[in-house]
Structure 1
Amino acid sequence: MTEFFATAPRGFEELLAAELRDLGLASARVQRGGVAFTEPLAGAYRACLWSRVANRILLHVARFEAQDEQALYNGVQGIDWSAHLGVGNTLAVDFTGVRARIAHSRFAQQRVKDAVVDQLRDASGARPSVDTDQPDVRINVHMMEATVTVAIDLSGESLHQRGYRREGRSAPLKENVAAAMLLRADWPALAAEGGALIDPMCGSGTLLIEAAWMATDTAPGLLRTRFGFHRWRGHNDTLWKPLIDEALERQERGAENPPTILGFDQDEGAVTASRDHLRRAGLADWVQVECAEVGQLQRPADLPRGLLITNPPYGQRLAEQHELVPLYLSLGQVLKTQFSGWRAMVLNGSGCALGLKPERSWQVFNGPIECRLERFELQGRGEGEGEREGEGVNPAQDLINRLQKNQRQLKKWLAREDIYAYRVYDADIPEYALAVDVYNSQDGRWLHVQEYAAPATVDAGKAQARLRAALSVLPSALDTAPSKLVYKVRQRQRGEQQYQRMAEQGQYLEVQEGPCRLLVNLTDHLDTGLFLDHRPVRQWIGEHAQNAHFLNLYAYTGAATVHAGLGGAASTTSVDLSKTYLAWLQRNLNLNQLNSPAHNLIQEDVMGWLQRCDRRYDLIFLDPPSFSSSKRMAGNLDIRRDHVALIQAAAACLSEDGLLIFSTNRKGFKLDPLLHEQFSIEDRTAWSIPKDFQRPGWVHGCWFIRGCPRSLR
């Protein structure tokens, strides 16, 4: 009888202990970081071959106290290493510590290696070599404060490396974590009862292969050609070979009636990788993988029960959240509508809402990422679905009511004004600090949802729970597919941040605004390319631009330019510093057949350009950012500080009867009284705010400015 220790992924120690007991290792007991067991050597071999959850199987060699590096060296020297390796073998040392007396793990690792090598060299005159990649014997040393435990790693490479993954190809889900998910879902029992399995985001096929091997009673270590014990001097091949023979017999019997296992992924590269791994695992003939999006998934009619299991992407970067939220909501919608009677298991590392209440969940780790492993029992309506899936009293019912009320109040106005893109909600309920915009495009209805950054006084946990509740109800409340919800966190933007990309999807939607067709991009930038609150000003420009020479300063994507062009402007000039937005503007002009020389685009700092401008314009639209800086600008722009000089410079370009429209969304902004002395100014703020933005505290200002003293020209 020998003492062994099996390491486990964090959160799966109890599961590993149960698995080892099922393998006949009755002594298995949970300890920190894994499971200890005291068995004959054959029991450790069985664990190496059959454990689906363990990382490593370690054979205990010695335990001693060491207060410093010399004591560590002496303790290791006290072990008879000739029983484990010879001078012709290679070795490697792994060292880990918890509050260890020797804090520097590399130094401790070196001292352990020295102790082993020195002992063997003193005895034979030769020394073994070090091979950190594939050593003959891997020595594992763990130091808890002053207590040192020395072990031989019988696994070699981690047991999650089954042998079917192509070398150099990593996966976001380790094989033993996938197996643990399947065991938590009780997949072996479901498979034995004839249940099917579907992974709608199968990636490189890890869950599919692990599920197939469980269902066919295939040992997870059967493909491996090398274990750590193979070159260890204590290895007993007469114990090992019968285990291999038994595993092969069990695999042959288990493959006689395999269950239906299907995988899907929207990425063709992932589908190709899955098929390759299935072939290498010997499963290509009966595990099917196809290319499909989650939202399109339908349960085959001949599969009444089974397990849907998946590891969705986590999106550790904030910019990825706009993709993840609709993805998780789509998955939740598919579970509710397509998989009644099934069980579902989701490894949720993002915290995004599925719109379902898990029947049970566990805190686990996939590598360094903390996750919730969530299990759902999916039942049809009338069978307790509301109670079990949280569809009774919705925690966000007040938000649903407000959204539907706002939609009703806007409905006639939207139809009368022929408006296709509008704001339906803007933090109307303080607990739900969101702005929700609707974009009706040729590609259907989309929701653009922005979360205002919560103040420090708001409890982060409660705010996150409310956000998840809100995002889960928005699609159904506004009759939109979950896959067409885009979510972002809106924070104060300074300098060139307003131009920075959040993603690289390049997905543009076409929306209509009056006679204009305009392109919006909901994903790649914080803003979409269309400021909805400026709609009345743009429409007015279109109605009054006939035969006018129009100047659009800080032109952005040129929606006002398009209105002016379609309104019959004699010419338009659009000035902006951003190459990205001017290219977008040109696409908008092309979309509206306004790609003539009469429409001029200038990439330049506005203030610098105005100072050299020698033309006169009948109509000027000036809507500058609140703050802007760039390497291509002389200094920076602060609209409260600089608006007088900016307005004066723009007004100097007006024709004799020309009009300058100035607007800003700078909080606390006030026009300098000096401007009232120099110009005829009409405050048009109230008129300029459209019905969908008329809320208390909305930050917006708009003024019509006429006249220009000769001294400013």
Structure 2
Amino acid sequence: MTQTQNLDLTATCPKGLESLLAVELNELGASVTREQPAAVHFTGTLQVAYRCCLWSRLANRVLLRLASEKITDAEGLYRAVASLPWEEHITPSGKLWVQFSGTNREIRNSQFGAQKAKDAIVDRLRQQAGTRPLVERDNPDLAVVLRLHRDQLDISIDLSGDSLHRRGYRTHIGAAPLKENLAAALLLRSGWPEIAAEGGALLDPMCGSGTILIEGAMMAADYAPGLLRESFGFERWLNHQSDIWLALREEALARREAGLARELPEIRGYDADAKVLFAAEANINRAGLERQVRVSCRPVATFRIPSHRPVNTGLVLTNPPYGERLGEQEALRETYAELGRQLKQEFPGWLVGIFTGNPELGFSTGLRSHKQYQLYNGSIPSQLLLFRVREGAGSSAEPRALSEEAQMVANRLRKNLRTTGKWASRNGIDCYRLYDADLPEYAAAVDIYRSLEGAVYAHVQEYRPPAKIEENKARSRLRDLVRAVREVLEIPQDNISIKERRRQSHKGGGKAPSQYQRQGGAAGERNFWINEYGAELEVDIWTYLDTGVFLDHRPVRQYIRKEADGKTFLNLFCYTATATVQAALGGAKQSTSVDMSKTYQAWAARNFRRNNLDPYQHQLLEADCLQWLTSAQQNRRGHYDLIFLDPPSFSNSAKMRGVLDIQRDHERLIRQCMTLLAPGGALVFSNNLRSFKMDEGILAEFAVENLSSVLLDRDFQRNPKIHNVWRIEAKA
């Protein structure tokens, strides 16, 4: 490989940076040929390739393409790879790593493709030298990258080694770190090089571990981003030409020394979290920029232009938190508004860049962006919003009023409070459903929980939006609903729990079903107690969708309480055993509650202790209900006067021996339960499968009474199929 040979090269990058990277590569001496998502193809000499590895602020990797072949099957893959002279790239005793991406009709698994390619390289080297390289992911002497697309196989070697975004200065990171090349892209999009050249300052009011500040200082100081790296992939490559590389590195060191000797613009960062500033200081020191970059602990409310050095204008660029969960987003709205107030008051004429995964939060500053750039923070679609703070913009940002649509939801909530809320109050009900997708566009349920201390909480559960509704639109409507809840109930944001559905990616491609996201905080961290007909029950509205109390079963539990006096009671699939608590308080002389979940058993035990239930009279059993029922046929026949059977519609838990399908299995479960009933006893059977149909044999053999409509309170009548309930007894 000669110094003047033109090489076929590719630089990969985060999605959305392709055009910026193309400009950068041209400035580094490359000849860009085309862009594609997350990559830019170019040609250049080996010196150009080395310079891109050392100086690119945006690329992830620089790949040298060795060949491009048409293949259709595994044998074609093997032949294409084995035909290349690998002995010219790696010694037989070296360390090799192979990466493969893509599939076709015959090669349907990337792991298989990587294995086949590895075999081809190893076999060729063994034939050439009688020995083979080791295969190791960490610090390989040669990393081979293969990409298969529409039967076209590109075979490349990775010249960069570890991803180029890892500069080497960031050993300490905050909770949500911004990758170095993305931070560089934000600075370039914001025009920082031009602002710095004119002496403008760079300020970050929520700087975290300092990545934006460090990248900004490196740009201003003509500091090559690759200088701190321990090594590059090409340094262990057999074709490496060290004289070219050492000359480039010496040039970069001289440019850094000259740049740091100049007086750089003011570059300062602030954060309210003192702990994260320790990480920022460590990173700044490791980059050798402690004289150029300063950070200090300061909340957003005190953010202003530094006074120790005259600064007339500059760039405020920040990546504030935006919260993956809606509850966090609502809580952050005031932070953004506070930032807007400070910018208007303290920074007239300055350029402001806010990078966020929730652009609506950015607009909560009260400023209007004049440019928006679509980028990705990892897999999260995000925007860089650019604002120019107007002279005389004012010192305050008015709180955002409800939109016309959100006001419509608020009006419905107020109406429901007047009707359902008054009904609940008259009947001594502290926890109830206030709203159940009353307006189809706002597809969610809102449940009210009042704690024993009198605090009011709202539990908002989003329903799956119709496929024709864009996810961003659905989320915007959910935010409207949450704002309306907060205004109507007059409760703090911290008292609102939002369970938001997200579409999940899955290996089969296409759209996977949406799923509820686990909420923040440790389980039990913010639990509280409620009252239900004299029973005190523990509730957790924060951690999972289920809160510990199924509100729709409130009348079912009341029914069991009235039926349980003087009886032995069995609760199968007992969950948190709230029905058992009601049965015991209703006079049940003995009870057994069975569930295989350790979490629910522990929760049930807390409910028992709170209500002073005797553990010898009221037994909790951690067991698979299906197995327990089978064994109970031997020793508990005719033992129970009242049984509550409330299984899930479907379960394939790893703790179970089989799979439970309630439509298929309910006949067997009911028959097993009937053998455990004492003469004159009754089984209360419930499930929430909307399409459920009772087995004809059960209807014919036993006395079956459908109580579904009877045991449905007013707050759930908009959704009458939310559960099915039957009372089943032996025929007289």
**TM-score using structure 1 length:** 0.69
Q: Secondary structure of the equivalent of 1:575?
A: strand
Aligned to 2:467: 459
What pairs with 1:40-189 in structure 2 (closer than 5 Å)? 47-57=52-62, 155-166=160-171, 174-186=179-191
The 2-side partners of 1:668 and 1:129 are apart by: 60
Aligned to 1:435: 445
CA contact (8 A) 1:66 1:75 kept: no
Question: Which stretch of the first structure deviates more once superposed, 535-544 or 106-115?
Answer: 106-115
Q: Alignment partner for residue 551 of structure 1, among 557, 562, 569?
A: 569
Q: Is residue 335 of structure 1 aligned with residue 336 of structure 2?
A: yes
TM superposition shift of 1:587: 0.6
The 2-side partners of 1:394 and 1:188 are apart by: 43
CA contact (8 A) 2:552 2:713 kept: yes
TM superposition shift of 1:53: 0.4
Q: Deviations over 1:545-570 (max 9, x none)?
A: 7x744625233312233334455x36
Q: Deviations over 1:207-240 (max 9, x none)?
A: 5643554466643223124346665155164454
Aligned to 1:624: 646
Aligned to 1:422: 432
Aligned to 1:242: 251
Q: Alignment partner for residue 540 of structure 2, among 515, 521, 531?
A: 521
TM superposition shift of 1:251: 2.9
The 2-side partners of 1:335 and 1:75 are apart by: 59
Q: Is residue 506 of structure 1 aligned with residue 506 of structure 2?
A: no
Structure 1 pair 76/672, CA: closer, same or farther in 2 (3 Å)?
closer
The 2-side partners of 1:488 and 1:425 are apart by: 16
TM superposition shift of 1:531: 1.0
CA contact (8 A) 2:50 2:245 kept: no
CA contact (8 A) 2:447 2:460 kept: yes
The 1-side partners of 2:217 and 2:139 are apart by: 29
Q: Secondary structure of the equivalent of 1:424?
A: strand
In structure 1, what residue type is equivalent to 2:618? H
Aligned to 2:461: 450
Q: Secondary structure of the equivalent of 1:586?
A: helix
Aligned to 1:412: 422
In structure 2, what residue type is equivalent to 1:573? S
Q: Secondary structure of the equivalent of 1:437?
A: strand
Q: Alignment partner for residue 470 of structure 1, among 468, 477, 491?
A: 477
Aligned to 1:576: 594
The 2-side partners of 1:671 and 1:197 are apart by: 64
Question: Which stretch of the first structure deviates more once superposed, 245-254 or 693-702?
Answer: 693-702
CA contact (8 A) 1:614 1:653 kept: no
TM superposition shift of 1:14: 0.7
Structure 1 pair 273/652, CA: closer, same or farther in 2 (3 Å)?
farther
TM superposition shift of 1:260: 1.9
Q: Deviations over 1:618-661 (max 9, x none)?
A: 7x462522646684689875586368647755653658xxx876
The 2-side partners of 1:45 and 1:214 are apart by: 19
Aligned to 2:613: 594
CA contact (8 A) 2:402 2:480 kept: no
Aligned to 1:317: none
Aligned to 1:641: 667
TM superposition shift of 1:250: 1.2
The 2-side partners of 1:324 and 1:160 are apart by: 28
The 2-side partners of 1:2 and 1:239 are apart by: 18
**TM-score using structure 2 length:** 0.68
In structure 2, what residue type is equivalent to 1:459? A
Question: Which stretch of the first structure deviates more once superposed, 297-306 or 63-72?
Answer: 63-72
TM superposition shift of 1:92: 6.9
Q: Secondary structure of the equivalent of 2:268?
A: coil
What pairs with 1:661-676 in structure 2 (closer than 5 Å)? 664-667=687-690
CA contact (8 A) 1:553 1:622 kept: yes
Structure 1 pair 276/163, CA: closer, same or farther in 2 (3 Å)?
same
Aligned to 1:281: 287
The 1-side partners of 2:93 and 2:243 are apart by: 13
Structure 1 pair 591/45, CA: closer, same or farther in 2 (3 Å)?
same
The 1-side partners of 2:583 and 2:561 are apart by: 5
Structure 1 pair 234/6, CA: closer, same or farther in 2 (3 Å)?
farther
CA contact (8 A) 1:333 1:355 kept: no
Q: Deviations over 1:323-349 (max 9, x none)?
A: 73433444455324544476454464x
CA contact (8 A) 2:436 2:445 kept: yes
TM superposition shift of 1:422: 2.0
Consecutive unaligned residues of structure 2, counting only runs of 5 or more, are 108-112, 306-314, 344-351, 504-515
Q: Secondary structure of the equivalent of 1:54?
A: coil
TM superposition shift of 1:126: 13
Q: Secondary structure of the equivalent of 1:576?
A: strand
CA contact (8 A) 1:511 1:518 kept: yes
Aligned to 2:11: 7
Structure 1 pair 676/39, CA: closer, same or farther in 2 (3 Å)?
closer
The 1-side partners of 2:55 and 2:422 are apart by: 67
CA contact (8 A) 1:439 1:511 kept: no
The 2-side partners of 1:183 and 1:287 are apart by: 21
CA contact (8 A) 1:517 1:591 kept: yes
Q: Secondary structure of the equivalent of 1:622?
A: strand
Structure 1 pair 283/249, CA: closer, same or farther in 2 (3 Å)?
closer
Structure 1 pair 259/27, CA: closer, same or farther in 2 (3 Å)?
farther
Give the fraction of aligned pairs with identical amino acids, expressed as a percent: 29
In structure 2, what residue type is equivalent to 1:625? P
Q: Alignment partner for residue 485 of structure 1, among 488, 497, 510?
A: 497
Consecutive unaligned residues of structure 1, counting only runs of 5 or more, are 291-296, 314-322, 492-499
In structure 1, what residue type is equivalent to 2:591? T
TM superposition shift of 1:538: 3.4
Q: Is residue 693 of structure 1 aligned with residue 716 of structure 2?
A: yes
The 2-side partners of 1:685 and 1:7 are apart by: 63
TM superposition shift of 1:298: 5.3
The 2-side partners of 1:89 and 1:669 are apart by: 65
Structure 1 pair 571/209, CA: closer, same or farther in 2 (3 Å)?
farther
In structure 1, what residue type is equivalent to 2:667? R
In structure 2, what residue type is equivalent to 1:31? E
Q: Deviations over 1:598-632 (max 9, x none)?
A: 433345647554874478777x4625226466846
Structure 1 pair 629/51, CA: closer, same or farther in 2 (3 Å)?
closer
CA contact (8 A) 2:647 2:687 kept: yes
CA contact (8 A) 2:82 2:124 kept: yes
Aligned to 1:563: 582
Aligned to 2:349: none
Structure 1 pair 26/516, CA: closer, same or farther in 2 (3 Å)?
same
The 2-side partners of 1:289 and 1:453 are apart by: 45
In structure 2, what residue type is equivalent to 1:430? P
Q: Is residue 226 of structure 1 aligned with residue 223 of structure 2?
A: no
In structure 1, what residue type is equivalent to 2:325? L
TM superposition shift of 1:57: 4.8
CA contact (8 A) 2:448 2:456 kept: yes
Structure 1 pair 50/438, CA: closer, same or farther in 2 (3 Å)?
farther
The 2-side partners of 1:164 and 1:513 are apart by: 55
Q: Secondary structure of the equivalent of 2:262?
A: helix
CA contact (8 A) 1:324 1:352 kept: no
CA contact (8 A) 1:550 1:571 kept: yes
CA contact (8 A) 1:46 1:243 kept: no
The 2-side partners of 1:386 and 1:696 are apart by: 45
Structure 1 pair 287/130, CA: closer, same or farther in 2 (3 Å)?
farther
The 1-side partners of 2:584 and 2:666 are apart by: 31
Structure 1 pair 308/419, CA: closer, same or farther in 2 (3 Å)?
farther
TM superposition shift of 1:594: 3.2
